[in-house]
Chains A and B, each alone.
Chain A
Amino acid sequence: MPVETSAVAAPPVELAPTGRPGIGAPQAHRSFELDLDVFDGPFDLLVTLILRDEIDIWEVRVSRIIAEYVVKLADSGEFDLDATSQFVVLVAALLEMKSRLLLEEEVEEELEDLDPEEAARQLLERLARYSQFRNVAGALGTSWGEHSGRLYRNAAVPAGLLRRRTPDGALPALALADALAPLLREPPVPDTSHLADLAVSLVKELRRLRLILDDAGEFTFAAVAPPDRLERAVTFFALLELHSSGEARLRQTNHFGDIVVSRVAAPALVAG
Chain B
Amino acid sequence: MLPLARRLEALLFISARPIATDRLAEACGCREDEAAEALGALRAEFAAGAHGIEVREVAGGFTFAVADDCAEDVRRLTGAEKPDELTPALLETLAVVAYLEPVTRAEIAEVRGVSSEWALGALEERGLVEQQGRADTPGAPILYGTGERFLKLFGLVSREHLPPLEEFSLSAAEVDEIRSRLHANAERRGQ
Contacts and interface: CB of A to CB of B under 8 A. Distances in A.
Interface in B62-98: 63-66, 68, 71, 74-75, 80, 82-83, 85-89, 91-92, 94-96, 98
Contacts of A93: 114
A127 B83 CA distance: 31
B95 A152 contact: no
Contact of B168 (A24, A127, A139, A156): A139
A126 to B, nearest CB: 8
A17 B182 CA distance: 15
A141 B15 contact: no
Nearest to B83: A148
Given A147-B154, A148-B153, A151-B80, A137 B15 contact: no
Given A120-B183, A147-B153, A151-B65, A128 B89 contact: no
B58 interface: yes
A214 interface: no
Interface in A87-146: 89, 93, 116, 120, 123-124, 126-141, 143-144, 146
B141 interface: no
B111 interface: yes
A155 B63 CA distance: 12
B71 A149 contact: yes
A154 interface: yes
Contact of A17 (B80, B118, B174): B174
Interface string B159-184: 00001011011110011011100110
A82 B111 CA distance: 24
A124 B74 CA distance: 49
A54 B171 CA distance: 25
Interface in B37-74: 53, 56, 58, 63-66, 68, 71, 74
Instruction: Sort chain A's interface into a size bin.
Output: 35 or more
A17 to B, nearest CB: 7
A24 B65 contact: no
Contact of B111 (A129, A147, A148): A129
Contacts of A129: 111
A153 B82 contact: no
A140 to B, nearest CB: 5
A153 to B, nearest CB: 4
A169 B98 CA distance: 47
Interface of A: 16-19, 23-25, 53, 82, 85-86, 89, 93, 116, 120, 123-124, 126-141, 143-144, 146-157, 161
23 contacts: A16-B174, A16-B178, A24-B88, A124-B179, A130-B111, A131-B168, A131-B170, A132-B166, A133-B112, A136-B163, A137-B94, A140-B98, A143-B155, A144-B91, A147-B153, A148-B82, A151-B75, A151-B80, A152-B64, A152-B65, A153-B13, A153-B15, A157-B15
Given A133-B112, A144-B153, A149-B83, 8 more contacts: A17-B174, A93-B114, A128-B169, A131-B170, A143-B155, A144-B154, A151-B66, A153-B15
